[in-house]
């Protein structure tokens, strides 16, 4: 019986570079108020959102991803040809096949990199990061590009008072590569499918023709809020424990940018000290689902609110309901 040779990967993996892309059009709350009965004060008090970015016809899922990825690759100090795999998390690429990752890999100039899409909603970046870490450590790719990208404006019902103000568009990307020391902690992830009705697409694509109304994202706001605040705080604590990092040792907290009230409640529940920098990109970017964590990470580093080498807790959670949390060293 033949013996399979062991894989030759890196002992550990780390995020080497990060990049982001926000569409050029900035949409203030006043635009949202043209189609719903609400107020700027109500939107800000309930979500923290002041503006969001919406993509134009040229700012496709692929185009935004390529822009963000180019920045991440440059930040990592490697060439696109060195990328061995491209993982794209999105729920707003409307072609069932082929995966948009294959187009992105080709246009970036990778050397026939493995490429595939995943659908894990707002936890998609964490899922992709976990897969990338495994590939680097196992040896199937030396460098992996992880992209979170959404055009949620395409899936927004502008007449739905509960969700019309929430969503934005954008792309965030990171390059994951080899490391001589631990820099991506164990992932605490999972799903609670019994709660899948709380965030969902209004109708399946197969019923689109009969309804005459384009599918949109809808959610049960209060149920999602309670779940995110209480259950995800527990998951975040588990991720800290798994990494052997205490709240006092944490430098940065980058939660999914769903709602500033959720962020504030998680900070309180986790008892994070005031010294911890908390990402609040939701104020000007809105909820960009899979793109929200890398976009927030990129902005914190670009503005100097966080620095290379900082220890950060990242957690994503959303439709499914799915979640993923881990502790990382910032690039």
Q: Which residues are catalytic?
A: 122, 256, 287
CA distance 298 to 144: 17
Please give the helix or strand (H or E) that residue 127 lies within, else none.
Answer: helix 124-138
CA distance 113 to 54: 30
CA distance 6 to 1: 16
DSSP for 42-57, written as a single string: HHHHHH---EEEE--T
Q: Which residues contact 304 (CB under 8 A, 6 or more apart)?
A: none
| C-alpha closest to that of 59 among 12, 92, 35 | 92
Tokens 């019986």 correspond to: 1
CA 164 centroid distance within chain: 20
Sign of CA dihedral 318, 188, 90, 129: positive
**How many residues does this entry show for the chain?**
331
Q: Is the peptide bond before 192 cis (omega within 30 degrees of 0)?
A: no
Report the DSSP pairing between strands 114-118 and 199-201. Answer: unpaired
Sign of CA dihedral 104, 329, 188, 295: negative
CA 1 centroid distance within chain: 44
Q: Which residues of 121-155 are buried (b: 16+ CB within 10 A; e: fewer)?
A: bbbbbbbbbbbbbbbbbeeebbbbbbbbbbbbbbb
CA distance 324 to 140: 23
């Amino acid at each position: 019986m033949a013996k399979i040779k062991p894989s030759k990967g890196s002992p550990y993996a780390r995020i080497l570079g990060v990049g982001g892309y926000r569409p050029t059009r900035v949409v203030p709350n006043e635009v949202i108020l043209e189609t719903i009965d609400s107020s700027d004060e109500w939107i800000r008090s309930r979500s923290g959102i002041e503006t969001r970015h919406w993509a134009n016809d040229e700012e496709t899922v692929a185009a935004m991803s390529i822009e963000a990825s180019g920045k991440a690759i440059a930040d990592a100090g490697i060439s696109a040809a060195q990328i061995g795999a491209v993982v794209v998390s999105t729920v707003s690429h409307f072609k069932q096949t082929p995966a948009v990752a294959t187009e992105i890999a080709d246009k970036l100039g990778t050397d026939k990199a493995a490429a595939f899409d995943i659908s894990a909603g707002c936890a998609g970046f964490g899922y992709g990061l976990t897969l990338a870490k495994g590939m680097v450590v196992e040896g199937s790719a030396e460098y992996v590009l992880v992209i979170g990208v959404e055009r949620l404006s395409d899936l927004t019902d502008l007449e739905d008072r509960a969700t019309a103000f929430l969503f934005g568009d954008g792309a965030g990307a990171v390059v994951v590569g080899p490391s001589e020391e631990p820099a991506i902690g164990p992932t605490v992830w999972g799903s609670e499918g019994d709660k899948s009705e709380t965030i969902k697409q209004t109708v399946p694509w197969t019923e689109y023709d009969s309804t005459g109304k384009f599918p949109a994202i809808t959610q049960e706001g209060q149920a999602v809020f309670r779940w995110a605040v209480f259950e995800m705080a527990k998951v975040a604590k588990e991720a800290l424990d798994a990494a052997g990092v205490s709240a006092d040792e944490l430098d940065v907290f980058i939660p999914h940018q769903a709602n500033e009230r959720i962020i504030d409640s998680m900070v309180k529940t986790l008892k994070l000290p005031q010294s911890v920098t908390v990402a609040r990109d939701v104020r000007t970017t809105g909820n960009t689902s899979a793109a929200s964590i890398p976009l927030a990470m990129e902005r914190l580093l670009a503005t100097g609110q966080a620095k290379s080498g900082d220890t950060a807790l990242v957690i994503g959670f959303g439709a499914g309901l799915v979640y993923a949390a881990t502790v990382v060293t910032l690039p």
